[in-house]
A and B are shown apart, each in its own frame.
Chain A
Amino acid sequence: MDMVVAFFKNTGFGLVDYRHFIMMAVGIGFIYLGIAKHYEPLLLVPIGFGILMGNVPIFKGLGLGIYESGSVLNYLYFGVRQGIYPPLIFLGIGAMTDFSTMLGRPKLMLLGAAAQLGIFVTYLVALALGFPANEAASIGIIGGADGPTAIFLASKLAPELVGPIAIAAYSYMALVPVIQPPIMFLLTTKKERLIRMSDPRPVSKREKIIFPIAGFLLCCFLAPAALPLLGMLFFGNLLKECLVADRLAQTARTALIDIVTIILGITVGASTQADVFLTAKSVGIFFLGAASFMVATAGGILFAKLMNVFSQDKINPLIGAAGVSAVPDSARVAQMIGNREDPSNYLLMHAMGPNIAGVIGSAVAAGVLWSFFIAP
């Protein structure tokens, strides 16, 4: 009888408490959003299931949990802790993205820069709320709206917050179509939303090949700490554009990015355990994350309006919101709002310019923030 009782005490039924149920509800919620509502399913389904895996009550010391040395999940989590997976995802992103909309109208890159205002404003607010500097920087990067960048920086500066920060970042990326439109309507007039932009100039193949090399060198000379992320992003793009390494580009944007996304999602989800996630700090992270997205959206839109004051070739300020680098969702939101005013105004490809620039900008911002905290 004692053996039966002891056995039962070591099962999940014997070890469970209410916090596990809360986390499982969160995980199931994510899976539901991914499958039923199609909100970023490639991210939310692995993360949601990872949350379930990480919150099954287990007896510590058996080498099963993600934080226990030698466990399978722990080995897989190594890539998150050491910041390996995010650069590999950036490799795939570079290999699947055409930068020509940005190259055809380079001034749109400044909208991507302006949207990074969300990162730094959130950083200041987090400091003011009492977060330590390294945690504040990790929280601020949520405003970059880039999951891999957020995970990369958090793994370097505040590894214990990788889980909640990743969950917040990916949740808000999935909610971009909900968060951005009210701000876009608030900060623009109908006349501005109706602005039709001229077509960007055609971009030659040579420019598309030179850009990743030159862009990488320019950005990394300025912010060397961004090397892992930007190096892989531009390398992936070079593989795509050079046409002589198409097999590598194909692998990077299909199999490789899918494999890394699966492992990243599962392990980030599994790392989000109740004792870390169900805290006041996580609630603060979620609120600050939402605020950072809003500030980033506003920053991009307002800068676009400012540029219109000085430029004869007008920019539709809606595409400023696409500087929030949730590619391609924020570009599609800009297009959707523009279409509501004028169904024949197709803004998507114009919005991809600041969208891509935002990815570069958020990686540079992450590199800058990391460099301030790297021990000399």
Chain B
Amino acid sequence: MTGLSAIAAANGWFITVTGLVIVFTGLAVLAAFIASLDKLLTLWDRGVAWLRRSRRRESSGPEPEDLAHKGPVSLPRADASARSVFLGGETLEVYQYLQWLSRRQGDVFSLSRLLEQAEKRGIPRPHFHLDELLALGVIEELPGDDRGFYRWTPGITVQPEE
């Protein structure tokens, strides 16, 4: 037997309606109970407090303080007003090479592309040296719409370390 007659023969409609009603009723009753639970507990507390004739206890223990969200901290870098930065032998060499490579991208360049090119050309430890140059402020990030792109910090003179 198939079709609607099969459903009717198996009391399918009755089972479906009853089943849905029971599921909805069960969860609705549970939801109503939970919704009123907070108020019921408050009433209970008041009743207990009244019976004990004592003050309602404050929550014990200090509340954790909300610290103000600290925004990103500026990268530590050399004071931009300091016009000279002294670099060690290998770093100086890498600095010069990176400057040359970055010219292909223009005054404003992408660090990831610079690194990629540096690796292709076998520059030693480009990541480490790039990090040094960033930390010293020799390379700076651009603000605004160009955030995430970088340039050689104007006004900085790089000199070899004695």
Contact = CB atoms under 8 A, between A and B. Distances in A.
Interface of A: 102-103, 106-107, 109-110, 112-114, 116-117, 119-121, 123-124, 127-130, 132-133, 136-137, 201, 204, 206-207, 210-211, 214-215, 218-219, 222-223, 357, 360-361, 364-365, 368-369, 372
Contacts of B6: 127-128, 130
A133 B24 contact: no
A368 B34 contact: no
Contact of B15 (A116, A207, A364, A372): A372
Given A123-B12, A210-B37, A129 B2 contact: yes
Nearest to B28: A110
Interface string B88-111: 000000000000000000000000
A2 B29 CA distance: 73
Interface of B: 1-4, 6-7, 10, 12-13, 15-16, 18-20, 22-35, 37-38, 41
A324 B12 CA distance: 22
Nearest to A214: B33
17 contacts: A107-B35, A109-B30, A113-B24, A116-B20, A120-B15, A120-B20, A130-B1, A133-B12, A136-B10, A206-B41, A207-B34, A214-B33, A218-B29, A222-B25, A222-B29, A364-B23, A368-B19
A238 to B, nearest CB: 15
B2 A361 contact: no
B26 A219 contact: yes
Contact of B7 (A117, A127, A210, A369): A127
Nearest to B44: A206
B7 A124 contact: yes
B27 A369 contact: no
A113 B37 contact: no
A129 B31 CA distance: 36
Given A113-B24, A120-B19, A219 B30 contact: yes
Given A207-B37, A218-B33, A361-B23, 17 more contacts: A106-B30, A106-B34, A107-B35, A109-B27, A109-B34, A110-B24, A110-B27, A112-B27, A120-B19, A132-B10, A204-B41, A207-B41, A210-B37, A218-B30, A223-B22, A361-B26, A372-B15
Contacts of A222: 22, 25-26, 29
A71 B4 CA distance: 44
A214 B27 CA distance: 12
A102 B15 CA distance: 28
A285 to B, nearest CB: 16
A6 to B, nearest CB: 48
A124 B37 contact: no
Contacts of B27: 109-110, 112-113, 357, 360-361, 364
Nearest to A368: B19
A365 B23 contact: yes
Nearest to B26: A222
B10 A218 contact: no
